[in-house]
Amino acid sequence: MIIVTDHSCLGYETPGHPERPQRISSTVRQLQLQVELDVIWDHPAKVADELLLRAHTGGHLRRLLEPLDFEPDTATHPDIAGHARRSVGAALRALDLSLEGKRAFSLMRPPGHHATRDRVMGFCYLNQAAITALEARARGLQRVAVYDFDVHHGNGTEDILRGVKGTYFASVHQHPCYPGTGTESGGNIFNYPVPPYTSAPDYLAVLQQSLDRLLQERPELIVVSAGFDAAASDPLGQQKLRSADFEAIGRSLRNSRVPCVSILEGGYSPNLPDYILSYLLGLDNG
């Protein structure tokens, strides 16, 4: 398993904010110490503006450079545009590796799936999943799917990919919950809202249903928005998944036999490193 990361993503924070550097630093330590998974470390690729502009407007990129907070829970930081670009670069490097037949996970912050074409929101500045899917299409793949299992609806990814030929988006998410979207499906968008406090077996069943729906489209690649905030211990969701359940999600993707590239989205529990390791073990071992 190749882990794409960069310690520079630890270089910004808002005190008391759940999207904190320890999400990455503690996971890196966990992966360095564990013996169950053979890990190779890699670094983000450089990102040209033209790749970002497939998903975002020029005004959005310019807004990232302004030293003004975006939302009450999404602040500006020195070089936040650079941090967001490196997060995209890690996802694109993971794409390179996946297209070479390797298994790769982008372990970076900030996350991205709430960033719309022209709006920063929900801790997200640039939408790595959508940018990666569009880059895969630009490289000649005819059918690319995005599978989002974060507890929050990937509204930004939906906004960017809705109606885009050759792309498909499926999201399993809690509703009601932030950002309050994701109740309707149509065209290339498949939403699976689930109520708070759904049992883990029922939640996993919906996850499998959504993956099966994506597989009906015969994707050549699955871009995974891997959010771990449906965990029982997560402060931002009200779901019940545990380590074994995240391993099952990884195993389901492995058993699909479709190449996939995984990108870290949410997950704010102190147990996040365990959940990520379990997911990667399922993805790696089948």
Encode pLDDT of 74-89 as tens digits: 999 999 999 999 999 9
Residue 114 designated active-site = yes
Read off the CATH number of the domain in which 183 is found: 3.40.800.20
Q: Kind and range of the H or E element at 40?
A: strand 40-42
Q: How many other C-beta atoms are found inside a 10 Å radius of the C-beta of residue 22? A: 13
Per-residue pLDDT of 14-71, as tens digits, reads 999 999 999 999 999 999 999 999 999 999 999 999 999 999 999 999 999 999 999 9
Structural domain harbouring 89: 2-285
Whether residue 134 contacts residue 168, with contact meaning beta carbons closer than 8 Å, is answered with no
DSSP label at 123? T
Cβ 160 vs Cβ 135: under 8 Å: no
What local confidence, expressed as pLDDT, does residue 285 receive?
Answer: 75
The amino acid sitting at 107 is: L
Q: How many domains does the chain have?
A: 1
Q: What is the pTM of this model?
A: 0.98
Mean pLDDT of the chain: 98
Copy the structure tokens of residue 79: 């070089």
Cis geometry, peptide bond prior to residue 21 (ω within 30 degrees of 0): no
Taking the chain (286 residues) in consecutive chunks of 10 residues, what is each chunk's mean pLDDT?
A: 98 97 98 96 97 98 98 97 98 98 97 98 98 98 98 98 98 98 98 98 98 98 98 98 98 98 98 98 85
- The answer to whether residues 105 and 280 touch, using CB atoms and an 8 Å cutoff, is yes
Handedness of CA 230, 235, 240, 243 (dihedral sign): positive
Report which residue type is found at 64.
L
Tell me, what DSSP letter sits at residue 224? Answer: E
From 56, 60, 113, 114, the catalytic residue: 114
